[in-house]
Amino acid sequence: MHIDIQQASVSRIKEIPDGDLGFGRIFSDHMFSMDWSGDTWIEPRIHPYGPIEIIPSALALHYGQSVFEGLKAYRGPTDDRIRLFRPHSNAQRLKASCERLCIPCVSPDIFLEAIRELVSIDCAWVPHGPDCSLYIRPLLFGSEGTLAVRAASTYRFLIITAPVQEYFNRQGQGIYLKAEHRFTRASPGGTGGAKTAGNYAATLQPMSDSAGAGFDQILWLDGVEHRYVEEAGQMNIFFHLGDTIVTPDLSGTILPGITRDTALTILREWGYKIEERRISMDEVITASKTGNLREAFGAGTAAVVVPIDRIHYLGQDLQLPQAGNHSLCQQLYQAITELQFGVTQDNHGWSVLVD
Ligand code: COI
């Protein structure tokens, strides 16, 4: 693929604040764009980050025909090299999301080439620091202007990047979840397993209701009985029960997280018994009462691996055991981030060098 490159005349990199990157507030100098027209992707280009023109009748704006991805580039603390973590898995997940939303797919080769080129042009934006990285957000949406409810005939594929800290910047402290029993995020046969814009919009009202009450995130329950744990907003969820790690299975209503898969692979290698199955809040509460619940944590690209401190369910707070420095969550966090930053040997072929 030939990518047309238009360099920014002045870099904005000096605008990066010292110490407080937050998540998704600052965007690097360049972005990637490409259009789908006449049954093919055309005009791949890298150009200065900035507003884009979009027709007000664009299908994505009205009917949500839009999918996205999230991955990161990491700067190695010892070798200063830049690595992507499991970008092929993001390419595969994007393909699955595209199929669900009737969007033409971007081939994994083009996806990877576009990301590598963009990150290498903006390599100075990949931050230094143990909990910082360059978040990469590919986005694909129906750009055709029409009010007919159907798949668009034209699409735009964009990639933007942002230097970030971890999503929950809690310095190892656990998060407080509210198990949501009124609203649901997804139901069987819906789009819950796709990374599509509408899934996130549907979470905003329950999230804003609960933010005032001090909750960090919603813990979504199943859409039929509101009893079984699904996922926690930006992350998949894991319970350490006795000698087993239990996580909701990929039944189509939860996002097939890449960090989820990474965590499960590592936990299996460490000898843990893994159960991917339905787990009800009742089971979690019983396990807590009998002392069988050892810890719970969430995992996602933006969040990495975070301990869960408390879960609010039907008016009661369930206090989880204090995880501490030697918790499984902490060990997993360390193992995953050391792989991502190239500190430990990658025996899985997960890292892709950018330079
Ligand atoms: C990610 O972890 O990459 C996500 O997409 C979560 C995001 C909505 C912040």
pLDDT, tens only, 264-282: 999 999 999 999 999 999 9
Would you say the CB of residue 351 lies under 6 angstroms from ligand 1? Answer: no
Q: Please give the model's pTM, rounded to 2 decimal places.
A: 0.95
Helix (H) or strand (E) holding 138: strand 132-142
CA-to-CA separations, 8 to 46, 106, 198, in angstroms, rounded? 10, 26, 33
288-319 pLDDT, tens digit per residue, is: 999 999 999 999 998 899 999 999 999 999 99
What residue's CA is closest to ligand 1, atom 3?
70
Structure tokens belonging to residue 293? 């619940």
CB–CB of 326/56 below 8 Å?
no
Domains in the chain and their CATH numbers? 4-165 (3.30.470.10), 175-340 (3.20.10.10)
Rounded-to-integer distance, Cα 329 and Cα 235, Å: 14
**Residue 338 CB contacts under 8 Å (≥ 6 apart), including other chains:** 344
Q: Which amino acid is at 323?
A: A
- The ligand 1 atom at the shortest distance from the C-alpha of residue 70 is 3
Would you say the CB of residue 138 lies under 6 angstroms from ligand 1? Answer: no
Quote the pLDDT of residue 172. 65
Would you say the CB of residue 67 lies under 6 angstroms from ligand 1? Answer: no
Q: Is the pLDDT at 321 greater than 80, yes or no?
A: yes
Structure tokens belonging to residue 138? 């590919």
Would you say the CB of residue 133 lies under 6 angstroms from ligand 1? Answer: no
Most informative mutation of 135, 234, 236 for ligand 1 (most atoms within 8 A of CB): 234
> With bands split at pLDDT 50, 70 and 90, how would you rate the model's confidence at 130?
confident
**Measured in angstroms, how far is the CA atom of residue 236 from the centroid of ligand 1?**
11
Quote the pLDDT of residue 208. 82
Question: Which residues, in sequence order, are bridge partners of residue 66?
Answer: 141
Of residues 30 and 207, the one with the higher pLDDT is: 30
- Count of CB atoms situated within 10 Å of the CB of 123: 17
Quote the pLDDT of residue 82. 98
* Among 197, 235, 204, 205, CA closest to 219: 235
- Count of CB atoms situated within 10 Å of the CB of 318: 18
Share above pLDDT 90 across residues of the chain, in percent, rounded to a whole number: 85
User: DSSP label at 200?
Assistant: H
User: DSSP label at 221?
Assistant: B
Q: What is the mean pLDDT of residues 45-69?
A: 98
Most informative mutation of 25, 85, 167, 168 for ligand 1 (most atoms within 8 A of CB): 167
Rounded-to-integer distance, Cα 8 and Cα 25, Å: 19
Rounded-to-integer distance, Cα 233 and Cα 236, Å: 8
Rounded-to-integer distance, Cα 48 and Cα 202, Å: 32
**Measured in angstroms, how far is the CA atom of residue 299 from the centroid of ligand 1?**
10
Quote the pLDDT of residue 303. 87
223-248 pLDDT, tens digit per residue, is: 999 999 999 978 999 999 999 999 99
Would you say the CB of residue 234 lies under 6 angstroms from ligand 1? Answer: yes
Label residues 199-236 b or e (16+ Cβ within 10 Å = b). beebbeebbeebeeeebbbbbbbbbeebebbbbbbbbb
**Measured in angstroms, how far is the CA atom of residue 167 from the centroid of ligand 1?**
8
User: DSSP label at 15?
Assistant: G
What residue's CA is closest to ligand 1, atom 8?
234
> With bands split at pLDDT 50, 70 and 90, how would you rate the model's confidence at 171?
low
337-354 pLDDT, tens digit per residue, is: 999 999 999 999 999 999
Would you say the CB of residue 87 lies under 6 angstroms from ligand 1? Answer: no
Structure tokens belonging to residue 319? 């206090």
Quote the pLDDT of residue 19. 74
Indicate the average pLDDT of the chain.
94
Quote the pLDDT of residue 168. 82
CB–CB of 83/342 below 8 Å?
yes
